[in-house]
Structure 1
Amino acid sequence: MRSLLIGKTWPEPASTAAGRRTLDILRVLHMLGDVHVASPAQPTEFSLTVEALGMTGHQIAVNDDAFDDWLANLAPDIVVFDRYVMEEQFGWRVHTVCPTALRVLDTSDLHCLREAREAAVLHGQPLNIFNDTALRELAAMVRCDLTLMVSPAEVQILVEQFGIAEHLLHHTPFMLTPLPDAAALRPYNERRHLMMIGNFLHNPNWDATRWLREHWPQWRHLFPQGTEVHVYGGYASEKVYQLHKPELGFHIKGRADNALDTLSRYRLNLAYLRFGAGIKGKIADAWLAGTPNIASAIAAEGMHGDLPWGSVISNEPEVFFRTAAQLYNDESAWQFAVEQGRKIAEQCHDSLAESVALSGRLAELHDDLAVHRQENIWGRILQQQQYRATEFMSRWITEKNRSPKG
């Protein structure tokens, strides 16, 4: 079976949670056979080299009819769109050129939810998930045969609030096992300081950095003298470095070359997110490094099922910092949180179980695609000509680009 993943960007699993998520999916596709990866974006120095994984990479362009001939020659059995914007751009071409290919959307996170939460926090607006992004995102979902969701909380929102049929969704969390040997992890007494990590191109991380810088001076007295906060993240701009205040014990460190090794040197990972969606790579990395997570509700959402977190989850600044201080100062409380994090990773993010479940679902749908599509009535409706606005916009741009006048 041949699979094609069309990425919004080339995956950067060392830089972003979305990149790690894409790598998980690529590995599952590799279980099914030949894998090709294509993107209209330019690779960066941190991009994954898919050839090293036994896969083939392709540079493609948007609004380019040459894609159709290339796709016809490739003839994939499965096409995965990395986020709804890639389905908007290339989904109609896949539908036209390879009508029997299984079309899969990976949302990474529910964008309409993330945008609604951001607007509510930063602008004081009522939470409105029924926004313009939701219209585009849900349309892409029902045009596809299956949508992969990283968070069970978002599956519930799609089913209960948007009425998306459950058979069109598949929950695929991060795949974290096998975990590093617990005996090889740095112990409590070899760790110092607090840290935060997250790509600064992602608004929730930038907001969390500002929040932490604002509140740290008020609560630093709870920690031993000399305790510092170190903030790591790729793509730090000048506005980020303006928060660097060594005299306050607050340090902007920039990109971490190795996230797990960096996390393993700190006593706690601070994850105070005021908005966001999906599940959080920073939380998963901390579990792998044996570093307890002090988390807000948004940071912990979708990560731990029904299992205890290992410490208090709170959005209240005082509770958040007092929880951090308790674990920082109490080795037994710290060790309990470490062990609980490992339990969550093992039980909620089992690589083998999730890989088998996803590969099985894809193979099953591929073999029974006609029946599955017959039952997807909204998908059939949106394939009608009057509802194909993104296709016709792309066709118009393509023709415009052919014109000598540009």
Structure 2
Amino acid sequence: MSHPRPTSVLVIGYVWPEPRSSAASGHVMQILEAFLAQGWDITFSSPAGPGEHKADLTELGIREVPIELNSSSFDTFVSELVPDIVLFDQFMMEEQFGWRVEKHCPDALRILETSDLQSLRHARHARLKERLKASDDANDFTRLFAPALREEFELMADTDLARREIAALYRCDLNLMISQVEIDLLVEQFHLPRSLLHWCPLMVDAPIAPPKAFEDRAHFLSIGNFRHAPNWDAVLWMKNTVWPLIRAQLPTAQLHVYGAYTPPKATALHNAAQGFHVMNWAEDALQVMSDARICLAPLRFGAGIKGKLVDAMLCGTPSVTTPVGAEAMHGEHAWPGAIAHTAEDIAEQAVRLYKEPSHWNEAQARGQTLLVERYQRTAHAAALIERINDCRQHLTQRRRDNFTGSMLRHHTLKSTQYMAQWIEEKNRAR
């Protein structure tokens, strides 16, 4: 008696996952674990070279297959694999490989894992740069932190990046969105059908052991991959404006700044006399987070949701951040720490949490509640699998209903296809 083969999944990654370096990679790993729990057969491919902190996927039973950009070798590979599901990690991978998948595996469900809406993050970065040019005040960013969705749309709508990214969303059968704010933006302003979007935030298990107590912790902590522009901007704002305000009230306070891929420009900020310590990569991010009394995340721009702030909740570490940092992360629940708009307010709230055990304990408890209410792994993993199975079952109808997507695939992917074939021929001629 023959048994049906397990569902075959091909994941095409922008990079090889480094879950200890970035929240984006952590989210990909959580999705992979949800697939593995179903007994699905997974192949992970990427055109990128392996990073310094790459996860060992083979240890989990996932095949690792490097692939090339602009090469027909991928056509042979995907034709032999015949995946039932193809997940693109970031929209650039859909641009590169989507037309090849459609040509050789037309019945495969195509899913895009967005991590965050990159065109929104870039538009917000541009707005911050304009604000900094227009004013020497490095303190109050209240206006920057409270735009209406229409204003966000107008920032993005004329950019090539938004046109490319949202076209990719249309071309896919399902798009995994980590932020409900981004879902609202796409539906209300860009008029994407809500049926193309699925809310899939970070998926974690609430800790069983109680977190460390107030009196067993010391120091402030900031953490984040230095290659991610919002993190680097936050470090600069802390160094130049926020941290001096905290030190004025707590003269012996120490800040430990951790991040993967620390560049020389970050190392140059290290100043032990000011209590500003650049610590490079944390071997165990949860350990250093658990030892800290306060997590600082003064983000002036960004998108998606913030893995460092979920980690802070997991470790029972109250956090002080901005509306950008907390965006789409707490719903109707109180924030496990403080949300502030100005450098002075960030410093004031951070010092209060650092000094007042009762205030700190309340913040820690709110974090534990928030984890259970919004980030429970079992609930979100089950919802993701159910949505994928439903999409597979109704794939023909979904594609018919998504006429804009089929139109974009017809026109846009032809130009992508011809460009890729031209590059491949050019490379052969060298």
Q: Does 2:194 match 1:166?
A: yes
Q: Does 2:169 match 1:141?
A: yes
- 1:180–1:288: 8 Å Cα contact kept in structure 2? no
1:303 to 326, 329, 342: 329
**Which residue does 1:350 correspond to in 2?**
376
1:256 Cα deviation from its structure 2 partner = 0.6
**Which residue does 2:101 correspond to in 1?**
94
1:201 Cα deviation from its structure 2 partner = 0.4
Report the 3-state secondary structure (helix = DSSP H, G, I; strand = E; otherwise coil) of the residue aligned with 1:278: coil
Report the 3-state secondary structure (helix = DSSP H, G, I; strand = E; otherwise coil) of the residue aligned with 1:388: helix
Q: Which amino acid aligns with 2:41?
A: D
Q: Does 2:276 match 1:276?
A: no
Q: Does 2:55 match 1:40?
A: no
1:129 Cα deviation from its structure 2 partner = 1.6
- 2:330–2:374: 8 Å Cα contact kept in structure 1? yes
Q: Which amino acid aligns with 1:18?
A: A
**Which residue does 1:378 correspond to in 2?**
404
1:387 Cα deviation from its structure 2 partner = 5.7
**Which residue does 1:336 correspond to in 2?**
362
1:270 Cα deviation from its structure 2 partner = 0.2
**Which residue does 1:85 correspond to in 2?**
92
2:178 to 113, 135, 150: 150
Relative distance call for 1:375 and 1:240 in structure 2 (3 A) is same
Structure 1 stretches lacking a partner, 5+ long: none
- 2:171–2:406: 8 Å Cα contact kept in structure 1? yes
Q: Which amino acid aligns with 2:329?
A: M
Equivalences for residues 7-406 of structure 1 within 5 A: 7-32=13-38, 33-124=40-131, 128-130=155-157, 131-182=159-210, 185-215=211-241, 216-223=243-250, 225-385=251-411, 388-403=414-429, 406=430
In the aligned structure 1, how far is the partner of 2:375 from the partner of 2:164? 29
Report the 3-state secondary structure (helix = DSSP H, G, I; strand = E; otherwise coil) of the residue aligned with 1:383: helix
1:388 Cα deviation from its structure 2 partner = 2.9
Q: Which sits farther off after the overlay, 308-317 or 259-268?
A: 308-317
Report the 3-state secondary structure (helix = DSSP H, G, I; strand = E; otherwise coil) of the residue aligned with 2:10: strand
Q: Which amino acid aligns with 2:47?
A: P
Report the 3-state secondary structure (helix = DSSP H, G, I; strand = E; otherwise coil) of the residue aligned with 1:181: coil
Superposed CA offset, 1:249-306 (max 9, x none): 1111111110000111110000100000000011011111111111111110111111
Give TM-score scaled by structure 1 length.
0.96
Relative distance call for 1:311 and 1:186 in structure 2 (3 A) is closer
Report the 3-state secondary structure (helix = DSSP H, G, I; strand = E; otherwise coil) of the residue aligned with 1:57: strand
- 1:272–1:315: 8 Å Cα contact kept in structure 2? no
Relative distance call for 1:119 and 1:179 in structure 2 (3 A) is same
Q: Which amino acid aligns with 2:244?
A: P
Q: Which amino acid aligns with 1:222?
A: Q
In the aligned structure 2, how far is the partner of 1:388 from the partner of 1:346? 46
In the aligned structure 1, how far is the partner of 2:306 from the partner of 2:10? 26
Superposed CA offset, 1:193-229 (max 9, x none): 1110000000111100000001212331222x42111
Report the 3-state secondary structure (helix = DSSP H, G, I; strand = E; otherwise coil) of the residue aligned with 1:6: strand
- 1:192–1:267: 8 Å Cα contact kept in structure 2? yes
In the aligned structure 2, how far is the partner of 1:153 from the partner of 1:164? 14
Same amino acid, percent of matched pairs: 40
- 1:297–1:313: 8 Å Cα contact kept in structure 2? yes
- 1:31–1:359: 8 Å Cα contact kept in structure 2? no
In the aligned structure 1, how far is the partner of 2:170 from the partner of 2:414? 13
Relative distance call for 1:387 and 1:52 in structure 2 (3 A) is closer
Count residues with an aligned counterpart: 401
- 1:179–1:346: 8 Å Cα contact kept in structure 2? no
1:234 Cα deviation from its structure 2 partner = 0.8
In the aligned structure 1, how far is the partner of 2:181 from the partner of 2:302? 12
- 1:37–1:57: 8 Å Cα contact kept in structure 2? yes
Q: Which amino acid aligns with 1:13?
A: P
Query: Structure 1: which 4+ aligned runs deviate by more than 4 Å?
Result: none
Q: Which amino acid aligns with 1:99?
A: P
- 1:7–1:37: 8 Å Cα contact kept in structure 2? yes
Q: Which amino acid aligns with 1:257?
A: E
In the aligned structure 2, how far is the partner of 1:386 from the partner of 1:214? 45
Report the 3-state secondary structure (helix = DSSP H, G, I; strand = E; otherwise coil) of the residue aligned with 2:279: strand
- 2:246–2:350: 8 Å Cα contact kept in structure 1? no
In the aligned structure 2, how far is the partner of 1:95 from the partner of 1:180? 44
1:42 Cα deviation from its structure 2 partner = 1.1
- 1:118–1:276: 8 Å Cα contact kept in structure 2? yes
Give TM-score scaled by structure 2 length.
0.91
- 2:261–2:281: 8 Å Cα contact kept in structure 1? yes
- 1:6–1:37: 8 Å Cα contact kept in structure 2? yes
Report the 3-state secondary structure (helix = DSSP H, G, I; strand = E; otherwise coil) of the residue aligned with 2:235: helix
Report the 3-state secondary structure (helix = DSSP H, G, I; strand = E; otherwise coil) of the residue aligned with 1:236: coil
